[in-house]
Amino acid sequence: MRIGEVAAKAGVSVRAMRYYEQQNLLQADCRLGGQRHYADTAVGRVRMIQHLYAAGLSSSTIREVLPCVDTGEVPPELLDRLTAERTHIDQRITELLAVRARLDEVIAAARNPDPECHHMQY
């Protein structure tokens, strides 16, 4: 398949496809005229790359994960890194929930100001 076909079927831009190639996440065969041609499996591969990016992984981590997708074997150190990243995300979620709660308090005070209080007390 040509680059435009894969991009359309996978729901990404041609520019994204070229980026994946630059990051060594996707390989194409170059044929006459320099046209890129991809195996039929490229659409699924691009969708997997998109999924991994959506999970917050970097290109370098995705480069490590893709062979595991192919083989079904995940090295323990990679699994440890992914687990640590999830823990980090959990911590960020907890912090953001606390920030949101404080913002909700500010919004509530702004909507219903205490007539006896001219400023918020913390």
Say what the pTM is: 0.76
Residue that is written with structure tokens 């790359």 in the block = 49
Contacts of 37 (CB under 8 A, 6+ apart): 1, 2, 28, 29, 30, 31
* Per-residue pLDDT, 113: 84
Q: Where are the chain's structural domains? A: 1-73, 75-122
pLDDT tens digits, 41-79:
999 999 999 999 999 999 999 999 999 988 999 999 999
pLDDT tens digits, 105-116:
999 999 988 877
Cα dist. 8→12, 15, 38 in Å?
Answer: 6, 12, 13
Q: Are 93 and 107 in contact (CB under 8 A)?
A: no
What angle, 0 to 180 degrees and rounded to 10, lies between the N-to-C axes of helices 42-54 and 14-22? 80
What is the radius of gyration, based on Cα positions, of the chain? 23
Mean pLDDT of all residues in 33-39: 83
Q: Are 56 and 85 in contact (CB under 8 A)?
A: yes
CATH among 3.40.50.1980, 1.10.1660.10, 2.10.109.10, 2.60.120.10 for 1-73: 1.10.1660.10
